């Protein structure tokens, strides 16, 4: 039909559809700490909604100190690597540091964290998780952020950045493939933050040179650790009592000999940047290159960093309102003051923090950057930060405006650069249009000018994520092949 669907009267019916959600128990343990592995067996002989997989847990952090308290990051950031295997063959086995990739995408608005179960914001003094519930209390100087077994508070891990989030079709018939297993590798304890005080940060509390605002006034002693408890997962399974679907799959299999399931894979490179950082990748379709910078000391636990423009100390109230304060009536309460206009322009009249582990800052405000891919340059000139932002926005699906941050915040807290190498929005049509580097084994270089630490920030730890499209080929007799 030549008419658009918005003008056509029609309806399609599919008979025999049923859906249900199943609970998956872990294969090895109900609790997990830093460095542990959580394993799940996915249901077989069912049509799985891959996007529906969610891992539920309870979480707690402990500073192990009588003078400091620990804080949890967003719950998705507690997973450092996601491994999916089919019949013992690992898909996307190069995908490490998925928590860093998750925060990089979140910085650009490409990923959202669920406010109810994702623990999206850092807690300073009173938790928004159970702040009004039973057992709620003010987190004092040495009180940790803990949600123990006795509390009815659960969190959810639902961002996996690989096969589970991007495979098409998203409704996958597991009767066609061998057993599927999912393994989650837990991150190190360095993703946590610690502090010896809960007072709002100020210009006197800095974390680097030139300095970032410290979210809490006093730094912690380090040594914090986290633990997950009561871990289980859920997944939606679809039933389809219709022979047409089976006949269609059988016909496709007989015509071309196999079925193809495209999905995204990320190859990760991390090193200390000194003007030129190299990476190499061999893939049938290199779609994007993501680049982030962090301080070389990002692995050391520190208090949360205040996002530029948001509240620090400086606005007080005094009076009967302070009756709930531990010091009693008449005590001044610091409500905090926005670093921009005191009215809170761009919604900055709020508290908002990031961990030093996930803070992405430009090494120098006047730096330039350029990719070199086997001798070809992208872009064709050394791009400054504003130009890099424009290219990054153009590289995201939908090319939407990033309304949640200012230029100052982009430089200091959200400096993530993305270079798209495939056709715009080609993922929606399952079109593999990126660079085919299998015959040449692409040698890439991230080249910067003015990004050294001489007189500037010590942000020289670089992460490069090469986003590529791989295919899982499914043949007769549950045979599989990975085309990378």
Domain boundary among 320, 350, 380: 350
328 and 297 co-located in one domain: no
Q: Is the pLDDT of residue 368 over 80?
A: yes
Asked whether residue 2 is assigned to any structural domain, the reply reads no
Domain boundary among 302, 327, 350: 350
Dihedral of the alpha carbons of 410, 414, 417, 418, in degrees to the nearest 10:
-120
- Weakest-pLDDT range from 90-94, 121-125, 411-415, 420-424: 90-94
273 and 148 co-located in one domain: yes
Determine the Cα–Cα distance for residues 183 and 430; give it in Å rounded to an integer.
26
246 and 338 co-located in one domain: no
Contact 195, 142 (CB under 8 A): no
Determine the Cα–Cα distance for residues 30 and 87; give it in Å rounded to an integer.
24
Alpha-carbon torsion (209, 210, 214, 215), positive or negative: negative
- Weakest-pLDDT range from 161-165, 185-189, 299-303: 299-303
Whole-prediction pTM: 0.91
Asked whether residue 154 is assigned to any structural domain, the reply reads yes
280 and 194 co-located in one domain: yes
Determine the Cα–Cα distance for residues 63 and 69; give it in Å rounded to an integer.
5
Q: Is 195 helix (H, G, I), strand (E, B) or coil?
A: strand
pLDDT per residue as tens digits for the range 405-442: 899 999 999 999 999 999 998 988 889 999 999 888 88
pLDDT of residue 52: 96
176 and 193 co-located in one domain: yes
Asked whether residue 331 is assigned to any structural domain, the reply reads yes
Domain boundary among 350, 377, 407: 350
316 and 401 co-located in one domain: no
343 and 462 co-located in one domain: no
315 and 356 co-located in one domain: no
Alpha-carbon torsion (406, 409, 414, 417), positive or negative: positive
Asked whether residue 8 is assigned to any structural domain, the reply reads no
pLDDT of residue 409: 93
SS (H, E, C) 101-140: HHHHHHHCCCCCCCCCCCCCCCCCCCCCCCCCCCCCCCCC
pLDDT tier for residue 217 given thresholds of 50, 70 and 90: low
Name the range with the highest mean pLDDT among 9-18, 148-157, 236-245, 255-264: 255-264
pLDDT tier for residue 222 given thresholds of 50, 70 and 90: confident
231 and 317 co-located in one domain: no
365 and 261 co-located in one domain: yes
Determine the Cα–Cα distance for residues 92 and 471; give it in Å rounded to an integer.
10
| Higher pLDDT, residue 440 or 458 | 440
pLDDT tier for residue 1 given thresholds of 50, 70 and 90: low
Domain count, the chain: 2
Asked whether residue 424 is assigned to any structural domain, the reply reads yes
Mean pLDDT of 472-476: 92
Q: Is the pLDDT of residue 209 over 50?
A: no
Asked whether residue 9 is assigned to any structural domain, the reply reads no
Asked whether residue 10 is assigned to any structural domain, the reply reads no
117 and 194 co-located in one domain: yes
End-to-end CA distance of the chain: 37
Asked whether residue 6 is assigned to any structural domain, the reply reads no
pLDDT per residue as tens digits for the range 129-170: 877 555 556 787 788 998 877 667 789 999 999 999 999 999
Mean pLDDT of 168-193: 94
Q: Which domain holds residue 339?
A: 311-350
Mean pLDDT of 210-234: 76
SS3 of the chain: helix, strand, coil, percent, to 5: 15, 35, 50
340 and 417 co-located in one domain: no
Q: Is the pLDDT of residue 220 over 90?
A: no
């Amino acid at each position: 039909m030549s008419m658009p669907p918005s003008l056509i009267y029609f309806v399609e019916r599919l008979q025999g559809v049923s859906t249900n959600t199943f609970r998956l128990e872990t294969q090895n343990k109900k609790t997990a700490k830093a460095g542990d592995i959580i394993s799940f067996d996915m249901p077989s002989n069912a049509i799985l909604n891959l996007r529906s997989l969610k891992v539920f847990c309870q979480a707690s952090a402990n500073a192990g100190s009588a003078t400091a308290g620990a804080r949890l990051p967003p719950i998705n950031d507690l997973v450092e690597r996601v491994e999916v295997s089919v019949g013992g063959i690992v898909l996307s086995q190069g995908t490490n540091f998925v928590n860093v990739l998750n925060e990089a995408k979140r910085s650009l608005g490409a990923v959202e964290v669920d406010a109810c179960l994702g623990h999206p914001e850092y807690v300073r003094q009173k938790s928004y998780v159970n702040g009004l519930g039973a057992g709620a209390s003010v987190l004092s100087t040495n009180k940790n952020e803990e949600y123990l077994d006795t509390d009815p508070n659960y969190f959810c891990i639902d961002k996996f950045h690989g096969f589970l989030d991007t495979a098409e079709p998203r409704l996958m018939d597991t009767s066609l493939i061998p057993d599927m297993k999912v393994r989650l590798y837990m991150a190190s304890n360095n993703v946590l933050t610690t502090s010896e005080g809960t007072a709002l940060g100020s210009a006197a509390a800095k974390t680097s040179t030139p300095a970032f605002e410290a979210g809490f006034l006093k730094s912690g002693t380090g040594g914090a650790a986290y633990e997950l408890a009561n871990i289980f997962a859920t997944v939606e399974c679809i039933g389809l009592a219709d022979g047409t679907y089976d006949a269609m799959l059988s016909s496709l299999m007989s015509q071309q000999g196999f079925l193809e399931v495209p999905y995204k894979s990320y190859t990760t490179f991390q090193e200390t940047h000194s003007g030129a950082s190299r990476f190499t990748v061999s893939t049938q379709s290199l779609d994007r290159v993501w680049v982030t910078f962090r301080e070389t000391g990002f692995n050391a636990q520190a208090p949360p960093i205040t996002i530029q423009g948001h509240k620090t100390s400086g606005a007080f109230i005094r009076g009967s309102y302070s009756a709930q304060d531990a010091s009693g009536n008449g005590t001044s309460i610091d409500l905090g003051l926005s670093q921009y206009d005191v009215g809170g322009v761009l919604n900055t009249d709020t508290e908002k923090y990031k961990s030093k582990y996930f803070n992405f800052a430009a090494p120098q405000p006047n730096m330039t950057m350029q990719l070199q891919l086997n001798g070809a340059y992208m872009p064709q000139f050394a791009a400054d930060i504003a130009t890099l932002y424009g290219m990054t926005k153009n590289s995201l699906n939908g090319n939407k405006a990033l309304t949640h941050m200012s230029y100052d915040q982009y430089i200091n807290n959200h400096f993530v650069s993305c270079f798209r190498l495939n056709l715009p929005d080609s993922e929606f049509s399952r079109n593999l249009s990126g660079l085919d580097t299998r015959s040449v084994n692409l040698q890439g270089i991230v080249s910067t000018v003015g990004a050294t630490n001489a007189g500037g920030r010590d942000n020289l730890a670089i992460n490069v994520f090469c986003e590529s499209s791989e295919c899982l080929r499914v043949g007769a007799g549950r045979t599989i092949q990975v085309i990378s």
